[in-house]
Amino acid sequence: MPMIKTTTTENTTSQADPRPRFGIGHMMMQAADVSALTAFYGRIGMRVVVQSDQFAILELRGGTHLILRPGEPGQAVLDLIVDDIDDTRDDLLAAGVDATGITRGHPHDRFTSEDLEGNVLLISSNHAMGPV
């Protein structure tokens, strides 16, 4: 099995701020029904910042924004991390979508689901290596 190389704080920008330099500011996703998909993501734990029938902005941890616009659905893959993977899976099931069983193991636990429009959701337990 190949070894996995990990990084250290040597890759950060300064001693005073140990966070990585880059974060993801915005991600775009197309939706057949912007309002319904916005409500779905709000129900499972994203923060709704702006919402209309033609445009929505949802906030994720770390300040990343998911922008929903009208278009062809089911084209995105979101690889998301959460602190409580069991609770998140339960919330997705309660929101009306299917989810695989949780695979437990190194470096994190994970499962797969889809949103209401067929976008793939890869959900993993948090495995951050320090402040993010």
Q: Which long-range contacts (CB under 8 A, 24 or more apart) does 110-114 make?
A: 110/85, 111/85, 113/89
pLDDT of res. 19:
81
Handedness of CA 83, 87, 91, 97 (dihedral sign): positive
Strand-by-strand arrangement of the 47-51 sheet: 26-31, 65-70, 56-59, 47-51
Helix (H/G/I), strand (E/B), else coil: 5: coil
Bridge partners of residue 69, in order along the sequence? 30
pLDDT of res. 28:
96
Third-level CATH fold of 25-125: 2,3-Dihydroxybiphenyl 1,2-Dioxygenase; domain 1 (3.10.180)
pLDDT of res. 23:
86
Spell out the domain ranges in the chain.
Answer: 25-125
Radius of gyration of the chain (CA): 16
Q: Two tokens at 29? A: 């996703």
Q: Could you say which DSSP state residue 95 is in?
A: T
What pTM value is reported for the model? Answer: 0.83
> Which pLDDT tens digits describe the chain residue by residue (132 residues)?
455 555 554 554 556 888 888 889 999 999 999 999 999 999 999 999 999 989 999 999 989 999 999 999 999 999 999 999 999 999 999 999 999 999 999 789 999 999 999 999 999 998 777 776
**Dist. CA 57–CA 69, nearest whole Å:** 9
Q: Two tokens at 49? A: 């910042």
